[in-house]
Amino acid sequence: MEDNQVLAHIKKLSEEEDRLYAKENLSDEEVKHLHKMNIELDQCWDLLRQRRALRDAGKNPEKANVRPPGTVENYEQ
């Protein structure tokens, strides 16, 4: 996955997240969906950081991998 694809996915998830946060009352299903999206956003940002770090180090950014939720969950942005 290229950086621009990761960024496009982040944008899509962020827009959906904003839409849900704008609602007054979320259903249980929407709350679960929001939680899953937050984890996926953390994974995407982590992947993008890995790709950039590898590229800056002169290595192949394709070696970056999506890390499990427990590793990236609650990263500070």
pLDDT digits (tens, 9 = 90+) for 28-50: 999 999 999 999 999 999 999 99
The whole-number mean pLDDT for each consecutive block of 10 residues of the chain, a chain of 77 residues, reads 93 95 92 94 95 96 94 70
N-terminal to C-terminal alpha carbon distance within the chain:
21
**In the chain, domain spans:** 3-62
Note whether 71 and 47 are within 8 A (CB): no
Note whether 39 and 70 are within 8 A (CB): no
Q: Is 77 helix (H, G, I), strand (E, B) or coil?
A: coil
If you search the block for the tokens 């950039």, which residue do you land on? 52
The total of other beta-carbon atoms located within 10 Å of residue 51's CB is 20
| Predicted model pTM | 0.86
